[in-house]
Structure 1
Amino acid sequence: MADPRRRKLRYAYGPYGGGPDPLAPPFDVREAMDQIGRDVMEGSSPRQALQELLRRGLDGRRGLDDLSRQVWQRRRELQRDNRLDGTLQQVRELLERALEAERNALQREDSDDARFREMQLDALPGDTGGAVRELGEYDWRSSDAREAYEEIRDLLGRELLDQRFQGMKEAMENATPEDVERVREMLDDLNALLAQHAQGQDTTDQFARFMAKHGEFFPENPRNTEELIDLLAARAAAAQRMLNSMSAEQRAQLMELAGQAFGDPRLANALAQLDAQLQGLRPGEDWRGSGRFRGENPMGMGEATRALEELGQLDALAEQLAQSYPGARMEDIDLEALSAALGEQAAVDARTLAELERELRRQGLFERAADGTLQLSPKALRRLGESVLRDVVNQIGARRGERETRRSGAAGEATGATRPWAFGDTEAWSVPRTLLNAQLRRAGGDSRRLDVTDVEVVETEQRTRAAVALLVDTSWSMVAQGRWVPMKRTALALYQLISTRFRGDDLALITFGRHAQTVELGELVGLEGVYAQGTNLHHALLLAARHLRKHPDALPVVLVVTDGEPTAHLEPGGHAYFDYPPSPHTIRATIGEVDRLTGMNAVFTFFVLGDDPRLAAFMDDVARRCNGRVVAPSLDGLGAEVVADYLRTRR
């Protein structure tokens, strides 16, 4: 009988149906580059575009703006729902209970001493702090009154300690005199430690002895004196901000009540000394700030101090999430504090954004220009061009029922050379090279039979080369009428098509406003709109002619994208002459340059944006003169029209 352990295991494969793909990356770099590219084309710098992406978020994850909004919402809730006088309210209630119990006891006594004591109670100061202080030496007749008064002292002591030391309010409940003495001793040792540290002495050994003796008071387990100071200073500053947030009357009462903590003024004095030392050691903490609390929930001193501490942390988080200070980085965000304030998912979202930023930089999608500014790298422009061209090709296919680029590169005889397959290629596969690549990869340990990276296609000769000049209007009307980004996307799509599918062709990108200039793709993508009058098509045609003359053996193609009549031309001295309505001199100079290009057998297509009848009539006349075409595309269809026209001309 066959050993069941030797049976061949059978596996079944199918699509994963348990929710999001667990192997998918946490973000889509291509989508991120698309968003950054759109912002850059709208006039943002690459740095601004990256920051805007981080503010918006990606792939359904919250961005910095959403996280900031939730931080501020949490801050508002803290101040809206709470108030700071909880300890004062508790003290007042205990004081009233003590006085009522004492008066009831005195009324039952028929003696001069009882009447005298009643007068003492009637003569107490009107403020709570003064009344509690005056009663410090009072000999209570009522045991209930004495208990209530002792509860006041116990409450004040626990609240004062809870402001500075985590968990002390619960730990000191029902504290004995020995417990209070132990706390006072800890404060004396702590003040001595900080005093020596402030003098520049090495406190390593003293800190170790202090923690061995009093470590129970510090569950955070600081590792050295500096960490201990950081911990205590943050809380002491929050306690000071709590006092600053109270009215002057409330603040005065609390200061006076502090001396009654545990019935021992030495505790308040030791805490005051501690606060003074911490303020000197950490002057950078916020000791002057305050917050306006207007809610109905009364908080004790310790709870209120933690609320002020949380407000400080929320303010720090808001600043970190804003990323608006010099040298700001995503790594500055305190993920632990963010998780504590907004939940674990908020920290996950922020961490993902930081990873996205690092990945964009790691992949070399940004580079530093000579002046130190951040700009899109050639790799980023290629990725952006691929995305734009893909959109344009889909538009062409949807409009005509075919993908014209599928037929664009097949003309010509095989050259004998091969190249790696790229998306969109329709040339025949080189089977020998493809199989050889697969065998070499498998010899390296890869078990897959065939991979897309193995595929090579046969290079073909192109029957004609083309020298293409794309002239794009950059006058202010293009910006004002929302034509700026479609113009850039059109240039990007055409550049990507030529650089990947028609590598023998040569494209010149020429912008024209008051003057014209030949620009690189990166310059055009990042070009900002400038308010300047003039549409100098004449100068642009001069530059186009210069480009075409460099390629006498190529098919000359001139593509013009504009939304206005020529209103400027270049004078012989290089000065741009402007006039509106268009001057006859400008019209003659522009037409003359069209005629010279027509003499070079240039193929013209004019893409007219907008519905200006004067412009339409002018372009119709020019097109008839040069045997060119006029196309009036929509803004969304501009890129598809230009690419389709180029492909038609090439065929």
Structure 2
Amino acid sequence: MSAHNRSSRYGRFAGGPDPLAPPVDLAEALEAIAEEVMAGYSPRHALQEFLRRGGRNRDGLDDLAGRVQQRRRDLLGRHRLDGTLSEVRKLLDTAVLEERKQLVRDAMMDNTDRAFREMRLQNLPYSTAAAVNELSSYDWQSGAAREAYEQIKDLLGREVLDQRFAGMKQALENATEADRAAVSGMLQDLNNLLEKHRRGEDTDEDFQEFMAQHGQFFPENPQSVEELIDALAQRSAAAQRLLQSMSQEQRDELMRLSGQAFGSAQLMAQLDQLDSNLRALRPGEDWSGSERFDGQEGLGLGDGTGVLQDIAELDQLAEQLSQSYSGSRLDDLDLDALARQLGPDAAVSARTLAEIERAMQDGGYLRRDTDGGLRLSPQAMRRLGKSLLRDTATQLSGRQGRRDTRVAGAAGEQTGSSREWQFGDAEPWDVTRTITNAIRRTMADGGDPARGLRLGMGDIEVAETEARTQAAVALLADVSFSMAAEGRWVPMKRTALALHHLVSTRFRGDRLQLITFGRYAQAMDIGELTALPVVREQGTNLHHGLLLANRFFRRHPSMQPVLLVVTDGEPTAHLLADGESWFSWPPDPETIRVTVAELDRLGRAGVQATFFRLGGDPALERFVQRMARRIDGRVVAPDVGDLGAAVVGEYLRAHFHGPYDDTDWAS
């Protein structure tokens, strides 16, 4: 075939996950889970809540469960179960009408015989089933009437088979006697196979032989006798639930009509035997349930059984989506069933959620602690800290009055950037940039760099440095109950995480100590602070927090001490000599005295202190202003949403001794 005759057709990929789809983005999930964890929930609960809610552009489990329930309501509200009875009634009315017409037209018929026939037709029972049975021995004079009556038996036969074998109603339309004999033979062989299986006497060869002979009746293409039984039992149980969903009158009518199916009592005996075998082999199926249908669209026996199967499948999906059973995971979700019931988009959403769950648990973002619970891993903390720090940089970049003050000097740290040399600069050259500049200038002037280069003053670039000192930073975070009650708990943790990431990645020479203070103070790592639960305990023991900060600074005597205090209340507790905490509200004068005394010791050590006042309490405002004045510190009163930017900004100010570049440190 020539190249120009070749053609290709492209379409949506089918048959599983898209192999070209980008990997799932965990950033949104990680941030949402961390937010819940910082609010006091367990990581497992936080993960489950995110999966339930979904993402910004993705359905969650609750959305999918809602769609499942809506489809269930639609099925029940659209249909009613008298479809087969209505079809039989129409065919019966047609048969009787055609017969009466024929009796009127048949002038050669004996008047007595005609009168007898008309009387028999006139006095048919009101019950459809009784009327059909009454006419089973009637000698039809009209060919059209006889055909309509035979259609009743054919319809009933196809419907009762369609109840057990989906698609039989259509497959056996206009069936011949040979087709019906093939069905009867299949039923006999099927019952023999199931009875052998009940006794444990069947072999795989028995199943293969059965499928080779009768496989056309099973579009599900079962691969074993167990799969065959599963498919048949689910359908048969749905058929039983369909009957249970009917009124007693409807059930009685159908039971009486069933004897007319194909005009063969043997067929119903074989089907009864099949139901008995399936009940024995799969007793766990729902054989006795029922539903309330109240719609207007009539359903035949086969279609109604299919609807009951759909409802059973929807119920299973609802349970899977609830994730309420022990050991539940989204890998349990039947994605094929979800696609059948709600469409391929629902399956894609569920698959994505399962990938998120798998990636969070198996990809290193959640790990088990010594108690068997889950916690955010260091990898997750780093990724989250980077994201929070990026948000903080964005907030800081919007502030007014900031400028770039990176200073050249041999004592500074290289930033990784370079700039044009200026008179008086003493830092090392950036050789690569300098040579590159010379090459570009030579080529622009028409010269050939291969014949040699002459450096010009404008070619020279120097490695850029920052003037900074190493710092020992103590972040004191108020964890009294008021912080949680006033919505400051999570912003406080986000602030600590952003600062921790900045210090651990950009300013590795610094040392950071996180200290929480409530009734007592405690030094903790970032993981402990992130997972710290809210405790309904009174007390703001700043005194104890300052004691721990002083101890931390003494361990790093060569570093600049930086104290950052985040609080929303006056000190109401202090540490006694025996290690117990003394609480008093209003604040006890002794609490204020020992707190101020500890602050003075920090001031004498040259600490750079900043107090971050949250809320508008006038007493707190007066207290922190006095504290700051005692040690030449600062007071910042940020909005709670701006707390992270305020704390990081003060940390950077302590390093750069004034204005600083807003974004270089966040890259």
> Which stretch of structure 1 is more off in the superposition, 387-396 or 213-222?
213-222
Change over 3 Å in CA distance of 1:429–1:507 after alignment to 2: farther
Q: What's 2:222 paired with?
A: 222
SS at the partner of 2:87? helix
Q: What's 1:43 paired with?
A: 40
Q: Is the 8 A contact 1:338 1:346 kept in 2?
A: yes
Q: Is the 8 A contact 2:416 2:464 kept in 1?
A: no
**1:546-567: CA deviations, max 9, x gaps?**
2222223322222111112222
Q: Is the 8 A contact 2:39 2:489 kept in 1?
A: yes
Q: What's 1:169 paired with?
A: 169
1:195 deviation in Å? Answer: 0.6
Q: Which amino acid aligns with 1:413?
A: A
Matches within 5 A, 1:381-530: 381-400=381-400, 402=402, 407=406, 413=411, 464-530=469-535
Count the aligned residue pairs: 600
Q: In structure 2, which of residues 81, 86, 91 is the aligned counterpart of residue 89 of structure 1? A: 86
Q: Which amino acid aligns with 2:411?
A: E
Change over 3 Å in CA distance of 1:531–1:102 after alignment to 2: farther
Q: Distance in 2 between matches of 1:250 and 1:286?
A: 21
For the pair 1:274 / 2:271, whether they are aligned, the reply is no
SS at the partner of 2:227? helix
Matches within 5 A, 1:285-296: 285-296=285-296
Q: What's 2:578 paired with?
A: 573
**1:26-81: CA deviations, max 9, x gaps?**
53333443333333323333223333333344463433333333333322222222
Q: In structure 1, which of residues 638, 642, 646 is the aligned counterpart of residue 647 of structure 2? A: 642
Q: What's 2:454 paired with?
A: none
Q: Is the 8 A contact 1:470 1:558 kept in 2?
A: yes
Q: Is the 8 A contact 1:393 1:403 kept in 2?
A: no
Q: What's 1:11 paired with?
A: none
Change over 3 Å in CA distance of 1:574–1:359 after alignment to 2: same
Q: What's 1:337 paired with?
A: 337
Q: Distance in 1 between matches of 2:242 and 2:100?
A: 35
1:114 deviation in Å? Answer: 5.0
Q: Is the 8 A contact 2:368 2:374 kept in 1?
A: yes
Q: Which amino acid aligns with 1:521?
A: I
Q: Distance in 2 between matches of 1:512 and 1:127?
A: 84
Q: What's 1:68 paired with?
A: 65
Change over 3 Å in CA distance of 1:568–1:103 after alignment to 2: farther
1:295 deviation in Å? Answer: 1.8
Q: Distance in 2 between matches of 1:114 and 1:223?
A: 60
SS at the partner of 1:614? helix
RMSD, aligned CA: 3.2
Q: What's 2:597 paired with?
A: 592
Q: Distance in 1 between matches of 2:654 and 2:521?
A: 25
Change over 3 Å in CA distance of 1:91–1:640 after alignment to 2: same
Q: Distance in 1 between matches of 2:355 and 2:288?
A: 37
Q: Distance in 1 between matches of 2:48 and 2:210?
A: 47
Q: What's 2:321 paired with?
A: 321
1:120 deviation in Å? Answer: 4.8
Gap runs ≥5 in structure 2: 1-18, 418-426, 436-461, 658-667
Q: What's 1:261 paired with?
A: 261
Q: What's 2:447 paired with?
A: none
Change over 3 Å in CA distance of 1:363–1:217 after alignment to 2: closer
Q: Which amino acid aligns with 1:281?
A: L
Q: Distance in 1 between matches of 2:79 and 2:559?
A: 78
> Which stretch of structure 1 is more off in the superposition, 583-592 or 165-174?
583-592
1:644 deviation in Å? Answer: 1.0
For the pair 1:628 / 2:633, whether they are aligned, the reply is yes
**1:481-509: CA deviations, max 9, x gaps?**
21122111111111111112222221111
Matches within 5 A, 1:168-187: 168-187=168-187
Change over 3 Å in CA distance of 1:255–1:476 after alignment to 2: farther
Q: What's 2:188 paired with?
A: 188
Q: What's 2:302 paired with?
A: 302
Matches within 5 A, 1:142-157: 142-157=142-157
Change over 3 Å in CA distance of 1:153–1:401 after alignment to 2: farther
Q: Distance in 1 between matches of 2:536 and 2:372?
A: 26
TM-score by length of 1: 0.84
Change over 3 Å in CA distance of 1:414–1:135 after alignment to 2: same
Q: Is the 8 A contact 1:414 1:458 kept in 2?
A: no
Q: Is the 8 A contact 1:162 1:302 kept in 2?
A: yes
Q: What's 1:540 paired with?
A: 545
Q: Distance in 2 between matches of 1:428 and 1:265?
A: 103
Q: Which amino acid aligns with 1:527?
A: L
Q: Distance in 1 between matches of 2:266 and 2:395?
A: 82
Gap runs ≥5 in structure 1: 1-21, 422-426, 436-456
Q: Is the 8 A contact 2:497 2:526 kept in 1?
A: yes
Q: What's 2:423 paired with?
A: none
Q: Distance in 2 between matches of 1:167 and 1:419?
A: 73
Q: Distance in 1 between matches of 2:314 and 2:213?
A: 34
TM-score by length of 2: 0.82
Q: What's 1:247 paired with?
A: 247
Q: What's 1:131 paired with?
A: 131
Q: Distance in 1 between matches of 2:118 and 2:429?
A: 109
1:191 deviation in Å? Answer: 0.7
Q: Distance in 1 between matches of 2:376 and 2:463?
A: 32
Q: Which amino acid aligns with 2:74?
A: E
Q: Which amino acid aligns with 1:609?
A: L
SS at the partner of 1:607? strand
Q: Is the 8 A contact 1:193 1:203 kept in 2?
A: no
Q: Which amino acid aligns with 2:155?
A: L
Q: What's 2:30 paired with?
A: 33
Q: Distance in 1 between matches of 2:430 and 2:353?
A: 42
SS at the partner of 1:638? helix
Q: Distance in 2 between matches of 1:485 and 1:349?
A: 29
> Which stretch of structure 1 is more off in the superposition, 590-599 or 178-187?
590-599
SS at the partner of 2:536? coil
**1:241-289: CA deviations, max 9, x gaps?**
2222222322232223222211112212211221221122122323233
For the pair 1:558 / 2:536, whether they are aligned, the reply is no
Q: Distance in 1 between matches of 2:635 and 2:589?
A: 22
**1:275-328: CA deviations, max 9, x gaps?**
221122122323233333222211211111111112222222233333333222
Q: What's 1:601 paired with?
A: 606
Q: Is the 8 A contact 2:480 2:538 kept in 1?
A: yes
Change over 3 Å in CA distance of 1:160–1:401 after alignment to 2: farther
SS at the partner of 1:328? coil
Q: Distance in 2 between matches of 1:647 and 1:329?
A: 45
Change over 3 Å in CA distance of 1:244–1:596 after alignment to 2: farther
1:521 deviation in Å? Answer: 0.5
Q: What's 1:453 paired with?
A: none
Q: Is the 8 A contact 1:27 1:58 kept in 2?
A: no
Q: Which amino acid aligns with 1:75?
A: R
SS at the partner of 2:640? coil
> Which stretch of structure 1 is more off in the superposition, 385-394 or 26-35?
26-35
> Which stretch of structure 1 is more off in the superposition, 200-209 or 343-352?
343-352
Q: Is the 8 A contact 1:203 1:225 kept in 2?
A: no
- Percent identical: 58
**1:181-205: CA deviations, max 9, x gaps?**
3212211110110011011123322
Q: Distance in 2 between matches of 1:388 and 1:337?
A: 40
Q: Is the 8 A contact 1:83 1:298 kept in 2?
A: yes
Q: What's 1:441 paired with?
A: none
Change over 3 Å in CA distance of 1:83–1:24 after alignment to 2: closer
Q: Distance in 2 between matches of 1:171 and 1:567?
A: 84
1:401 deviation in Å? Answer: 5.5
Change over 3 Å in CA distance of 1:598–1:413 after alignment to 2: closer
